[in-house]
Amino acid sequence: MMWLPSNLKGDSIEVSAMIKRENIIAGSYASMMLRIDPKVFFDNMANRQMNGTKNWENIKLKTKLVPNQTEGISIAFFLSGEGKMWVDDVLITVDGKDITKEVGMFVPFAKGISEPASSGISDFNTTPEIDQRLVDLGRIWGFLKYRHPAVAQGKYDWDQQLFKSIDAIIRAKDNKSVEAHYAMLLDSLGATANYAKPQLENVVHEVDYSWIDGLSFNNDIKNKLRRIRYSNFDQHHYFSFAGGAGNVLFKNEKKYENVFSADAGFRLLALFRFWNMIEYFSPYKHLTDSKWDAVLKTAVPEMILSRDDRSYGLSLLKMVSQVKDAHTGLWSVPKGLINYYGKYRMPVEIRMIEGKAVVTKVFDSEKSGDKLSIGDVLISKEHKKIEEIRDSLWAYMSTPNEAVANRDLARKLVTSNSEIVPCELVRDGRPIKVDIAAIPSSQIKPASRDTVPFKMLDNNILYINHSLLRAKMITENMANWSKVKGIVIDDRNYPGDFLVFKLTPLLLTKPTDFVRFSSTSLQYPGTFVMSSPLQVGENTNDCYQGKVAILVNEDTQSSAEYHVMAYQAASNVKVFGSPTAGADGNVSSIELPGNQRTMLSGLGIYYPDQRETQRVGIKIDEIVKPSIKGIREGRDEVMEKALEYLNK
């Protein structure tokens, strides 16, 4: 994904590129995306079905620019499914002019938008006293960023203020010198009103400001901080909220694309920016394994000492993993971690079955040598036991629950930086040693997959592949579907379309509660209020009366989980499978120094009775897990159990 300046000035923007595609199977497609947030424009060409094989073709997307409503512009090229695509000659124009060559094409940003290559903070040694000073600074800086009216107006370059404060704090001879810095900073921001705590209903979580009481500063400083705890705004320089969904949109955050582990100032900026975004805007902060305050205390000395690209990249991974949200990984590769997990891949799929690493698919490869077989149980890789590999990766994996931990571990077990991977495994009850040829991922020939969105099974059972189903198909086939004996909806994937309000009329006779949300606001960031239930379904007698079985597993994540919650509102729906990812809610993008990107789940998602879904997953009526025996026999045991239920 490429992020463009959000302050482009003109009437229209056009993105064009030469795209070539080869052997893209039905149900898969090549895509070019143009997106302008919040909800100004979005087109990913999903409906144009760019599949099959075609030589170089000029593809274009064009839309109007609305600078005063724009907070982010991004373009992306991706392949959804199986096949190959190439992209070349990307051109971005505004009113027909190449944005890389023209000047004067930008609406002026607020003062301080430049991105320096150095914070001016040289590396320094950590001590318990310095660490605590910086922990206090991280909290105060973030608090003022999101709560002080002058900062909300965009009058200050708040990143630069952090660098100045770090310098002052680490040079201060004693606590009085630290106090003097904060007194001067608060005075420079100007006097404020004394804001009263709002009386809000249905509050489920709120920021705990008691840390102000524990600061080792005089009462004048603490009272000035207390006065703005509940300040409120009509708009804010650093955040707004998406229309409709209502998750936070972070804005005016500098990427510092040309710096990475450049100096301690940028490393601490990454920590303090991320930590405060979670502090004020995560509905799930209370669900982290460690208290969020403790995460800051641990991370400060680690960031100070991460003085090279590799250690800084690992510190970033460790930092975001503390949230334990499957949305909150690093969605960019840190400079020091390119090929960290391996640039080659063994041509197999591995899943954790019965607590063991089991080969579940074998892909074609032209490499000669030992082969793995379906049902093989991997004991060690490159002379390390699987348990040892798991323990070495755990601190860097943002895994909400055991199901996701096993899923993500299995994906990393197939990678290596060696072209020959020595493995120990158990096959047919016998331990053996093999050397597996690993190849670049691009050379792996994927296994065949179902490309049919729905089909009839024996005994008049309708099978629906949720990832391939489109809204138009529901409209065209609903009358026929209402006559089948039973329906299987396979949700062990990610939806290819938003079907919450399209498929539920087939299942429900009246509007029915299915979800609640918790969200924060522009006025009171950090205070999360529970919504009234949202409903799906329509008043109708013309709906499906038979049984519906939904299949889920660890790949059922985010929107997939949300869809299942909607379908569960129907009394004739039963869910089969194993725990889902437990990562739901619209995501909000976070930019960190060094052009690093992560996300947070910006909305809390709950059942109508306010039961949590985050880290827990959706409700499952009958737990069914694959077995090693079933894998070896080529069986889908979850499907079998669902069909058994439908055929009763």
User: Residues 283-342: pLDDT tens digits?
Assistant: 999 999 999 999 999 999 999 999 988 999 999 999 999 999 999 988 888 888 888 899
31, β-bridge pairs = 78
> In angstroms, rounded to a whole number, what is the distance separating the alpha carbons of residues 535 and 501?
9
Confidence of residue 155 (pLDDT cuts 50, 70, 90): confident
Residue scoring higher pLDDT (457 or 43): 457
CB 200 within 8 A of CB 528: no
Residue-level pLDDT at 208 = 95
pLDDT digits (tens, 9 = 90+) for 344-393: 999 999 999 999 999 999 987 666 567 899 999 999 999 999 999 999 99
Residue-level pLDDT at 100 = 64
> In angstroms, rounded to a whole number, what is the distance separating the alpha carbons of residues 451 and 80?
12
105: pLDDT strictly greater than 60: no
Helix, strand, or coil (residue 549) = strand
> In angstroms, rounded to a whole number, what is the distance separating the alpha carbons of residues 267 and 93?
35
| Least-confidence region, from 93-107, 541-555, 632-646 | 93-107
| Least-confidence region, from 107-121, 211-225, 475-489 | 107-121
Architecture of domain 344-439: Roll (2.30)
In Å, how far from its chain's centre is CA 295? Answer: 20
25: pLDDT strictly greater than 90: no
Of the candidate CATH numbers 3.10.129.10, 1.10.510.10, 3.20.20.105, 2.60.120.260, the domain formed by 2-98 belongs to 2.60.120.260
Torsion, Cα of 197, 203, 204, 210 (10° steps): 10
Residue-level pLDDT at 111 = 39
> In angstroms, rounded to a whole number, what is the distance separating the alpha carbons of residues 276 and 297?
13
Torsion, Cα of 302, 587, 573, 497 (10° steps): -130
**Tokens linked to 257:** 């694309």
Residue-level pLDDT at 627 = 98
> In angstroms, rounded to a whole number, what is the distance separating the alpha carbons of residues 231 and 270?
25
Residue-level pLDDT at 107 = 47
> In angstroms, rounded to a whole number, what is the distance separating the alpha carbons of residues 132 and 296?
10
**Tokens linked to 395:** 């601190």
Residue-level pLDDT at 101 = 63
The full length of the chain comes to: 648
Q: What's the start-to-end Cα distance of the chain, in Å?
A: 49
pLDDT digits (tens, 9 = 90+) for 517-531: 999 998 899 999 999
Amino acid at 190: G
CB 55 within 8 A of CB 61: no
Percentage of the chain exceeding pLDDT 90 = 69
Over the chain, what is the mean pLDDT?
90
pTM for the whole thing?
0.82
490: pLDDT strictly greater than 50: yes
112: pLDDT strictly greater than 70: no
**Tokens linked to 335:** 């400079």
Confidence of residue 110 (pLDDT cuts 50, 70, 90): very low
Segment holding 147, helix H or strand E: helix 128-147
Residue-level pLDDT at 327 = 92
Residue-level pLDDT at 98 = 83
**Tokens linked to 154:** 């965009």
| Least-confidence region, from 110-119, 236-245, 467-476 | 110-119
CB 407 within 8 A of CB 390: no
Q: Which fold has domain 454-646?
A: 2-enoyl-CoA Hydratase; Chain A, domain 1 (3.90.226)
Residue-level pLDDT at 374 = 95
**Tokens linked to 607:** 């059942």
Q: What phi and psi, each to the nearest 5 degrees, are found at residue 26?
A: -60, 140
Q: Judge residue 423's burial from the number of C-beta atoms within 10 Å of its C-beta, 0-12 exposed, 13-18 middle, 19 or more buried.
A: buried
Residue-level pLDDT at 315 = 94
| Least-confidence region, from 72-81, 96-105, 119-128 | 96-105
Q: Give the domain ranges of the chain.
A: 2-98, 128-337, 344-439, 454-646
Residue-level pLDDT at 415 = 95
> In angstroms, rounded to a whole number, what is the distance separating the alpha carbons of residues 442 and 363?
12
pLDDT digits (tens, 9 = 90+) for 404-427: 999 999 999 999 999 999 999 999
